[in-house]
Homo-oligomer: A and B are copies of this chain.
Amino acid sequence: KTIKSLHDAWSGWLVVLLVGLAAGTCAGIIDIVTKWLTDIKLGVCTFAFYLNKESCCWMSESKNSLTDNCTQWKTWSEIFGMTESNTSSTYVLNYFVYILMAILFSALAALLVKVFAPYACGSGIPEVKTILSGFIIRGYLGKWTLLIKSMTAPLAVASNLSLGKEGPLVHIAACCGNVFGHLFPKYAKNEAKKREVLSAAAAAGVSVAFGAPVGGVLFSLEEVSYYFPMKTLWRSFFCALTAAFILRSINPFGTSHLVMFYVTYNRPWFLFELIPFSLLGVLGGLYGAAFIHANLAWCRFRKTSKLGKIPILEVIAVTFITAAASYPNPYTRIDASSMIAGLFKECGHVIETNLCDYKASNKNGSAIFSSERDLPNGDIGAGLQTAVWQLVIALILKSVITVFTFGLKVPTGLFIPSMAVGAIMGRLIGIGIKQLVFTYPDCFLWKNSCHGASSCVTPGLYAMVGAAATLGGVTRMTVSLVVIMFELTGGLQYIVPLMAAAMFSKWTGDAFGHEGIYDGHIRLNGYPFLDNKEEFTHTTLATDVMRPRRGDPPLRVVTKDGMTVEDLEMLVRSTNYNGFPVITSHDSQRLVGYLYRRDLIFALENARLHNENVLSNSKVYFSLHAPPSVSSSNEPSPVRLFNIVDLSPITITDHTPMEIVVEIFSKLGIRQALVTHNGRLLGIITKKDVLRHIAQLNQQDPDSIMFN
């Protein structure tokens, strides 16, 4: 017995430990498989096909340390025996294999999703959010969803679609939470307790997606969880940290960092840079608002047109367009994580990419600079000019194609594409500002603070701020966004720039529409989600919202005695309400309690089964004082159902302001409240009524709300 009580006390910690372990392991495997699949589009390791390019070259002896290339890693054209690497036929072959592989991967992913687990599509965050608010979607967090989403997320990412695996990782972690929660009776039987595990799991998901345990907890708190009691904060943190620790031990990228785009800056930023950072915030907010509108419109079109009937074809078509348009551009050919990592980097002493190709100010033309003084400080070089054009094209491609990608029937995360768009935007603006400082070194804004453009403007930092801005514009995250980005850089130094961008992004975005992409999709799908972040500011009263309304038929109620079994069976058959108020009598209308439909049906069936004297005209008593049941077979036996009445329903008066009613619904998480006036039952308000009322006041369609 002691063991059992100890088990109960520790099961809370045990379950989050297991969830953390599972989420970390899943993320590690997904990362490794994704990397391999991404590389195999471009070539293959000749001595071991199961190695990705980096591992292949690390194991081979013919490594060229500068370019990360090696002879054992062969592109597809080399495999097929084309040795001259610059002819157009080689290019065409590689191009063809690239597109073919991409389509193969995405079609396979779409097929797996369609056949085995339809819930594995999308990012999953809107649904997890809805589930945490109390709505139940059966199977959404099941074993099959877990398995299929873990398998298809790498395929979808590797197919070069404009999507990420970060959102799906949150869904996958939530699945882990649900699966492990079922192992413990404490959590399997109690939905509210299970939701605490799911909150912790969501934190672990973000923790492994971005290597940000603190940011993960804040994301779960701010964005995903509906009700987050403080005692689960600690467990969520433990879960997130366990997951991050496991992922670090798996070390999928071989760098001891949890994400591909981890950076370490040490350059300072200057006060004048807050102007471009804020500008980036505004641009990010504008992009976010535009994206949300366009994406929701497209998703609505998909739902209502024939397009929704052919999900696999749609995936193939989008993949074809994306792959065909991506290959020619080096920034879109590689996966988005690598591109972001490249854009976040600062230019060092060695020109590694076109992005750092500045003309040397001392005009000695050497490509490698020996000391800090000799850092590229001059005009834009030819390489950088090419890079800028390529980036502009990539920006247009990414921002357009993402609209059509988010909502496809494959796992689609939105973090990476949003960050990619922002990173390109930021890098471009950073390059521009650097050029500005170089061209006008005497402008009063920066004259005193920096000496020479190279020591002053870090385009990589702009890319990072831009990524934060677009991500903020799309998701409307705030604190968690800043903390995630700050954990990515590992320094408190840039928290002010990130904060400025996030603030302007949110303000700009909110000016064009108050909801983030997740809330938008929740509304699009009609989930019954009562937003607890919005304030209800109208002056309506409960009496304006409750049913029955003026002219409606009277409320269907149950009296505590006097009704027969037949009456009740009739009531159940003729309505589909999930419960009925119980009153003392039709005269006094005083409220006794609430009777759930399923309890009533079950109790009536049971009564008929166990006592043959219960007939259709048996009286049913919902009170303690009832005549004893009869065993002689001549007269109908009374049925006592006092024990199935919920004697403590939440009641409010008809004069209660809706502001308070909304507060009661969202804080107590109830589904219905009974409305009384001077102790008499007047009507009922359900969560659906509240949601409809809010939709009406916001001039939205009140009929779009579904309810279970």
Contacts and interface: CB of A to CB of B under 8 A. Distances in A.
Contacts of A495: 213, 241
B490 A492 contact: yes
A651 B651 contact: yes
Contacts of A590: 590, 678-680
A488 to B, nearest CB: 10
Interface string A198-211: 00000000000001
Contact of A592 (B211, B478, B535, B678): B678
Interface string A377-399: 00000000000000000000000
Interface stretch (A225-233, A328-336, A545-553): A225-233
Given A479-B234, A499-B241, A503-B238, A655 B647 contact: yes
A245 interface: yes
A541 to B, nearest CB: 9
Given A648-B655, A655-B647, A680-B679, A492 B499 contact: no
A491 interface: yes
A533 B230 CA distance: 6
Interface stretch (A146-154, A170-178, A572-580, A662-670): A662-670
Contacts of A31: none
A253 to B, nearest CB: 16
A652 interface: yes
A676 interface: yes
B648 A656 contact: yes
A591 B479 contact: no
A584 B533 contact: no
Interface in A243-262: 245
A11 to B, nearest CB: 15
Contacts of A230: 221-222, 532-533
Interface string A570-597: 0000000000000010001111110000
Nearest to A535: B231
Contacts of A241: 495-496, 499
A6 to B, nearest CB: 13
Contacts of A584: 678-679
A242 B657 CA distance: 37
Contacts of A482: 237
A463 interface: no
A30 interface: no
Contacts of A23: none
A350 interface: no
Contacts of A589: 679
A479 B231 CA distance: 10
B499 A591 contact: no
A487 interface: yes
B487 A492 contact: yes
Contacts of A655: 593, 647-648
Contact of A245 (B491, B496, B681): B496
A321 B433 CA distance: 62
A214 B483 contact: yes
B591 A679 contact: yes
A684 interface: no
Contacts of A503: 238
A697 interface: no
Nearest to A560: B678
B679 A660 contact: no
Q: Chain A: interface residue count, which band?
A: 35 or more
Interface in A601-654: 647-649, 651-653
Nearest to A646: B655
A478 B679 CA distance: 46
Contacts of A593: 653, 655
Nearest to A234: B478
A479 B217 contact: yes
A678 B499 contact: no
B648 A657 contact: yes
Interface in A135-179: none
Name the residue in A237, A483, A652, A663 with the highest tally of chain B Cβ atoms < 10 Å from its Cβ: A237
Contacts of A592: 678
Contacts of A492: 211, 213, 487, 490
A664 B649 CA distance: 13
A527 B431 CA distance: 59
A417 B379 CA distance: 56
Contacts of A211: 492
Interface string A335-358: 000000000000000000000000
A561 B499 CA distance: 59
Nearest to A664: B668
Given A590-B679, A679-B584, A231 B648 contact: no
Contacts of A652: 648, 651
Given A229-B532, A229-B533, A231-B533, 9 more contacts: A213-B492, A221-B230, A230-B533, A233-B479, A234-B479, A237-B479, A490-B491, A589-B679, A667-B667
25 contacts: A211-B492, A217-B479, A221-B233, A233-B478, A234-B506, A237-B499, A238-B499, A241-B499, A490-B490, A490-B492, A584-B678, A584-B679, A588-B679, A590-B680, A591-B679, A593-B653, A647-B655, A647-B656, A648-B652, A648-B655, A651-B652, A651-B653, A663-B668, A664-B668, A668-B668
Closest 10 CB pairs of A and B: A590-B679, A679-B679, A647-B655, A648-B656, A234-B478, A667-B667, A237-B479, A648-B653, A590-B678, A648-B655
